[in-house]
Amino acid sequence: MYKSIIIGTGPSGLTAAIYLARANLKPLVIEGVQPGGQLTTTTEVENFPGFPEGILGPDLMDNMRKQAERFGAEFTSGWVEEVDFSKRPFTLKVDGGQTYQAETVIISTGASARYLGIPGEQENVGRGVSTCATCDGFFFRGKKIAVVGGGDSAMEEAGFLTRFASDVTLVHRREELRASKIMQDRVRSNEKVKWALNRLPLSVATDESGAVKGLMVRNNATNQEELVEADGVFIAIGHTPNTAFLGGQVKTDANGYIVVKPGTTQTNVPGVFACGDVQDTRYRQAITAAGSGCMAAMDCEKYLEGEMIHDWSVMLDS
C-alpha cells in the first residue's frame, strides 16, 4: 500500500518522483519496457536547460532517476496490465502477477512515436533517423533531410526543418496529402521543400561507414526503386498515447490522450493524475514533460492533504 504510485518514467514521471520523494511521500515508480522513455533513444540533448554543452539523453534520465532515489523514491520494473480505479485504494496489476495498491496514481506512460517498420529504421534511431524535428533538427544544419508523412504533422516538421537543412524532401506513399490545405500551401510555397509523392518507403539506406545516406522508395507510378538522398530521415506519421491498459476508466480524447482539467493534471477520476506526453498533444518536449511532472506531484500532494475539490468529473464533462 503506497501513498502514490507513478506509472512510467521519462522526464515527467521522474520529476514527479523527485517532488513526491522530497515531500516524504515515498512514491513507487513502475518502470516499463523502456525505462527513461523516449529520451533514452536520443543521443545529444541540447535544449534542456542547465546543460550548456548538452547531455546525452540516457545520461539525463539516469541523473533524474538517481535524484529521485536519493530522496527516497522506490523503483520496480514491470508492465502495468490492468488498473481498478473504481474504488479506493486503487489497484494496479503488473505482468508477472504482482499487485500494488495506492491512494493516488500518477500516469506518465508517454506516447510512442509511430514508425514505418522498414529495414534500417530502428537500427539508426538517433543516428540519422528521428521522430522529433524540434529535438534533432539542429544537428542537420546545411544537410539534406527527408520527411516521411502526409498529414499536418509532416507539413509542420518539414517547414521547421527548412530552418536548418539545405533542402527537405517530403516523402508520401500517395499522390494526395492528408494535411489541411493551409498547411500544404505553406509548405509548397517554401523553396527549400522538394516532393517525392506516390513513393512507398522501403528501407533506410546507409553508406559503407554506416551513416544514413537516404531513403529507398518505390515509385508507385513506375514500380521502380529510387533513392531519396538524405543525411537524415524524419518519420512524421504521428504518435500513439500509451493508455490502452487503462481500459477506458480514465477519460481520453478521440486519439487516446488523457483529458485533464485545464491548468492542472487532474483527470476525471479523483486521485488519478496524468503528466507528460500521455496528456500532451501539442508540445511533447522533455522540458514541458518535466514541468507537468512537477504539477502532477504538487496536485497529488494537495489531494492527499485533502485540499482539493473532488468533483472534477463535472468540470471535465461540462
Q: CB under 8 Å to 278, separation ≥6 — which residues?
A: 8, 107, 108, 109, 110, 111, 241, 242, 243, 257, 258
| Active-site residue, selected from the candidate residues 59, 84, 132, 167 | 132
Q: Are 138 and 163 in contact (CB under 8 A)?
A: no
Phi/psi at 173 (nearest 5 deg)? Answer: -75, -15
237 vs 277: CA distance, rounded Å: 16
Q: Are 68 and 21 in contact (CB under 8 A)?
A: yes
- Told to judge if 136 belongs to the known catalytic residues of this protein, a careful annotator would answer yes
Q: Are 258 and 252 in contact (CB under 8 A)?
A: yes
Secondary structure letter of residue 216 according to DSSP: E
- Told to judge if 132 belongs to the known catalytic residues of this protein, a careful annotator would answer yes
Query: In this structure, which amino acid lies at residue 221?
Result: A
- Told to judge if 294 belongs to the known catalytic residues of this protein, a careful annotator would answer no
Question: And the C-alpha cell for 170?
Answer: 517530403
Tell me which residues are annotated as active site. Answer: 132, 135-136
